Amino acid sequence: MRYRYVYGPIPSRRLGRSLGISPIPDKTCNFSCIYCMLGRTDHLTGERQEFFALEDILAELKDALSHTSPPPDHVSIVGNGEPTLYLRLGELIQGARGLTSIPIAVITNGALLSEPAVRTALAEADIVLTSFNAPTEELFRRIDRPCPGIAFEAMKQGLVDFAHMPRRGQVWVEMMLLEGINDSPETLDQTRWVLQEVRPDRVFVDTPIRPPAESFAHPVTPDALVLAERALGGAQSSGFNFGAFTIATGTDPLETLAEVCKRHPMREDQATLLLVNSGIDPLPVLDALRADARFRVEHYGGQTFFLVREGNGGSVG
């Protein structure tokens, strides 16, 4: 069944089979990160709104949960941009919790952690995965390109405050590493000092593995990633990994791949592996995906990716 706000389950880098909720319009964000796989932000805003009726989102979630078998590993509030811009986020988390005992995760850029109301809302989640890409204002503005009104020091302090307030779940922090931009030993040292103050439950360091918004946002090498893991005091990195994810019998493989591509640009070799692991001949499905007007093919880093065309949705996480 196709929904407007709920999608998946899709394979998530860290959350396994993740049933996603997108409570905001496409590419609505308070950042326009140079590495964003969704391209440049076209709705750059810092204004929190109830973009869609809470009741409609929860009704879809209830229906999706009743039709998802096996159950997903997580319900994740992600969005095609920044989900803390959804004004009734706290009620959304609580409403979702009323429907399922599956852990609820929120993936955020952390910009609005400076706001007490956002911290209170996020404190209800089982996992809050927040970005922290730069330890200084100058680097923050260069990488994340925030909308007016977002102050680096307030955001950083908000992260520290959130990490130390009474919370239901865990705080995970992710740093996106970009070659020649935030990968120097000095930057990593400064980031480690901030993280020592935050004391998150888990730290991830990653690098773009899909085409970024700006061509100058280059990934670091695998060696640099390992060095950064150490420099950050034992961070983990992860590639885009399908794990045990397969396409369920009886579902349309093209639509399943299309759904994944809408959320994550998908590498051709991963799509092939997913189909083969699911006992499906990959060639006709990949041919159909190439011919589907909703998607386009892009080459990046020696790999072929399937991406959604503008106006057909997309999200991070």
- Positions touching ligand SF4 (CB under 6 A) are 29, 31-33, 36, 38, 41, 81-82, 109, 316
The number of beta carbons lying within 10 Å of the beta carbon of residue 112 is 24
What is the per-residue DSSP string for 31-100?
A: ---TT-TT-S-SEE----B--S-HHHHHHHHHHHHHH-SSPPSEEEE--SB-GGGBTTHHHHHHHHHHH-
Determine contact, residues 179/220, Cβ cutoff 8 Å: yes
**Residue 96 to residue 18: CA distance in whole angstroms:** 14
The number of beta carbons lying within 10 Å of the beta carbon of residue 254 is 16
> In terms of CB distance, is 32 or 237 closer to ligand SF4?
32
In whole angstroms, the minimum distance from the beta carbon of 88 to ligand SF4 comes to 20
> In terms of CB distance, is 12 or 32 closer to ligand SF4?
32
In whole angstroms, the minimum distance from the beta carbon of 84 to ligand SF4 comes to 10
In whole angstroms, the minimum distance from the beta carbon of 52 to ligand SF4 comes to 18
Spatial neighbors of 314 by CB under 8 A, at least 6 apart, are 26, 27, 37, 38, 80, 262, 263, 307, 308
The number of beta carbons lying within 10 Å of the beta carbon of residue 236 is 14
> In terms of CB distance, is 80 or 237 closer to ligand SF4?
80
DSSP code, position 299: E
In whole angstroms, the minimum distance from the beta carbon of 265 to ligand SF4 comes to 12
> In terms of CB distance, is 108 or 191 closer to ligand SF4?
108
> In terms of CB distance, is 27 or 285 closer to ligand SF4?
27
> In terms of CB distance, is 60 or 82 closer to ligand SF4?
82
Strand residue runs (E) in 132-227: 170-176, 202-206
> In terms of CB distance, is 68 or 130 closer to ligand SF4?
130
In whole angstroms, the minimum distance from the beta carbon of 27 to ligand SF4 comes to 7
* Per-residue buried b or exposed e for 55-80, using 16+ beta carbons within 10 Å of the residue's own CB: eebbbbbbebbeebeeebbbbbbbbb
In whole angstroms, the minimum distance from the beta carbon of 278 to ligand SF4 comes to 29
In whole angstroms, the minimum distance from the beta carbon of 150 to ligand SF4 comes to 11
In whole angstroms, the minimum distance from the beta carbon of 230 to ligand SF4 comes to 25
152-164 helix and 185-198 helix, angle to the nearest 10 degrees? 40
Amino acid at site 45: T
Determine contact, residues 66/3, Cβ cutoff 8 Å: no
**Residue 176 to residue 183: CA distance in whole angstroms:** 9
> In terms of CB distance, is 127 or 316 closer to ligand SF4?
316
